Amino acid sequence: MRYIGTAASRVDGYAKVTGAAKYAAEVRPDDLTHGSVVTSTIARGRITRLDVSEALRVDGVIKVLTHLNRPEMPDDDSAYKDDVAPDGSPFRPLYDDRILFDGQPIALVIAEEPEIAQFAASLVRVDYDQEPHVTDVRRRREEPSALKPSAKTGADPFAPPKPRGAAEKALAAAEVRHQGEYYVPIEHHNPMELYASTVIFEGDGKLTVYDKTQGVQNVQRYLCGVLKMDPDDVRVMSPFMGGGFGSGLRPQYQVVLAGLAALALKRSVRVVLTRQQMYGLGHRPAMIQRIELGAKADGTLETVTHDAVTVTSQYEHFYRQETGWSGLLYRCANATYAHKLAPLDLATSCDMRAPSAATGVYALECAMDELAVALGLDPLDLRLRCYSDRDQHADRPYSSKNLRDCYRQGAEAFGWDKRNREPRSMRDGSELVGWGMATGVWEAMQVPIGVRIVLTANGHAEVSCATSDIGTGTYTIMAQVAADMLGLSLDDITIKLGDSTLPQSPVEGGSWIAASVANGIATTSDAVRHELLGLAKQMQNSPFADVAPDEVTLADGKLVSKRDPTSAVLIADAMRHSGVDRIEREKTTRFTKDESRSHNVHSAVFAEVKVDEELGVIRVTRIVSAVAAGRILNPKTAGSQILGGVVWGIGMALHEETLLDHTFGRVMNANIAEYHVPVNADIHDIKVIFVDEPDDSINRLGIKGLGEIGIVGVAAAVANAVYHATGMRVRDLPITLDKLD
């Protein structure tokens, strides 16, 4: 392979740094109008009066849309369901007078200029019939009757795994036990690009929608249901996206508001949410977890119990499989899980990078660290003693698992063998030094996907798929795989994506797109190669007259015999000889689920912190993340993915927390000045190691995907390092200096 596995620079990099790449709020059609959203100031109740008269008197204001005058919308829930919608009744923007959460959109002011719309929106007056609300998960947990089961049946893919053994009995008999409660607060995604939609009203009444989304076809189907339009009349585009992290898996409400306004005005409309309004969208749910571990004195893990209470909204039941990671990672004969939902008067929670694993593994890996202390063992030694080569849930082997090498290479690079086990035993001047570690795990998933390839006689190929590039480098890895599969140079490949009219793709999330689309390109390339072979066989004195399709490959612009590399025909010659100017093939790739093996990615994270003994200020000075994730398509973009995940894990451990005023049910730090995220001064040395992990059974290219794994385990490694430095165990995130008092 010439390109797969190489650190190619982003093929879309030039467009991004020069501004040629246009995002959803940068497309400027003729006759464009601008919408500004008015949001609710209560968490629960009804609108009793909505006065828009002052707003309408402002010069340049065209219309104010509310639930009283919007275009017709469907009554049934099914019209509002998207591809990843949870159980329940989806939120319907501007549908009626009900208020379900603070910051809910209740009106859209449309004007000729954005500043006019924003000013006029401030003049809209609203009265409410306010009802009691609850936004505190701890308060809700004290009301057992208000909690909901997370899954209806064991067949639910997000249901906790089936228990095994006799966990309660094993815990009672364990020689060493640990019990702890761990808390993760609500976190908001805060991507750099604000959520925005530009809806172009075409002359024939059709809509072309530029939307910030992780799934254009998902949005297209959703809009057709909500706006009562035919699929052929709605095209959704998202060629570039400035970060999503899961917040763009579901259509956000601004795209509906812009669509309603475009239909009402028969003009193009742009709606851009403010940073504050983005806190009225989904979030990583707050979570209270209780873990009990029982072990023999030699470190053999005997039992795991993991219970969780997770935040959701009152109208939808969003959840992920939070507790089952605990029973998956380590060899343990007895395990049991429980997961309940705490419905609150907030917007529905949603996926956020490594949903369920980032939070569930945090609790598990902190608990394992505490168990190691109780046993008098090194934390890495304990994990190696409990290592499992088999999926503990399904009792089957992995297609590949190189976690042992992650531990070994990560520990060597970090210098773990120099760690003094005693807390508060390592210092650097006035700072306490702590070393902590944790394990990471994620699923290696694949999804059906369509790819179209158009190869022209001049040696150029256009590869298209409706998938998104959310900043991860999808353009680049698609180009690398296509270049190798078609035997062309990287410069001869054009990638088209982020367009609902292109071949079918699911939303981009879960770390499944790289593996899926890369193998999809390979499948369609096979079809192109077969056709080229047919053309080459028609040539006079063809060296391929009796050659089977699997006996030839494409390389350096030629069709080449695998048996005799000197037997080759230029692609251009084969096409021109047959009078063919272009070959177009489209294939859908589906992956057969291997029930005999489990597919996961793993990591080992080692962290160093330094804590000012007087002030309690914590600095993460070093991180080593060793990752085993099958074949790495591009070490440069892949390394950036892990770096970003590590930074977010540091934020999860020390910075990020959405603060609610429960009296009003309102986010108090709805901005990126008071919602703390790591900045340059917070990030020091991060080393990423990719551990070799051949896997020829998961798919033909051996790809697993690694967008999520970078964050998993980082918060636990940092928290464990803080304990080692200070001797103080903080079990609720983020770990701020006041908690070290």
- State both tokens at 63: 């219309």
Q: What separation, in Å, do the N-terminal and C-terminal C-alpha atoms of the chain show?
A: 56
The CA-CA-CA angle for residues 495, 497, 502, to 5°, reads: 110
Amino acid symbol at 470: I
The CA-CA-CA angle for residues 198, 202, 205, to 5°, reads: 115
User: How far is the C-alpha of 677 from the C-alpha of 350, rounded, in Å?
Assistant: 19
Transcribe 495-506 into DSSP letters: EE-SBTTSSP--
User: How far is the C-alpha of 411 from the C-alpha of 398, rounded, in Å?
Assistant: 23
| 33 contacts 269 by C-beta, under 8 angstroms | yes
- Residue corresponding to tokens 């954005």: 114
Transcribe 68-102 into DSSP letters: TTSPP--SSGGGG--TT--EE----TTSSSEE-ST
User: How far is the C-alpha of 257 from the C-alpha of 251, rounded, in Å?
Assistant: 11
- State both tokens at 295: 């072990």
Catalytic one of 193, 365, 657, 708: 708
Q: Identify which of 694, 619, 696, 628 has the alpha carbon closest to the alpha carbon of residue 650.
A: 619
User: How far is the C-alpha of 382 from the C-alpha of 364, rounded, in Å?
Assistant: 13
E strands of 568-706, at which residues?
568-570, 582-589, 600-612, 618-628, 660-661, 666-667, 685-690
Phi, psi dihedrals of residue 381, rounded to the nearest 5°: -60, -40
For residue 438, the number of C-alpha atoms closer than 13 Å in the C-beta half-sphere is 36
- State both tokens at 65: 């849309």
User: How far is the C-alpha of 129 from the C-alpha of 322, rounded, in Å?
Assistant: 37
- State both tokens at 631: 């074949």
- State both tokens at 363: 């609790």
- Residue corresponding to tokens 């064991």: 154
Q: Is 708 a catalytic residue?
A: yes
What torsion, rounded to 10 degrees, do the Cα atoms 639, 645, 650, 656 define? 150
| 721 contacts 609 by C-beta, under 8 angstroms | yes
| 671 contacts 474 by C-beta, under 8 angstroms | no
Q: Identify which of 682, 552, 532 has the alpha carbon closest to the alpha carbon of residue 610.
A: 682
| 261 contacts 63 by C-beta, under 8 angstroms | yes
Distances (CA, A) of 681 to 65, 671, 686, 731: 45, 19, 13, 25
Alpha helices in 465-606 (DSSP H): 474-486, 513-537, 571-577
Amino acid symbol at 522: A
Enzyme catalytic residues: 708
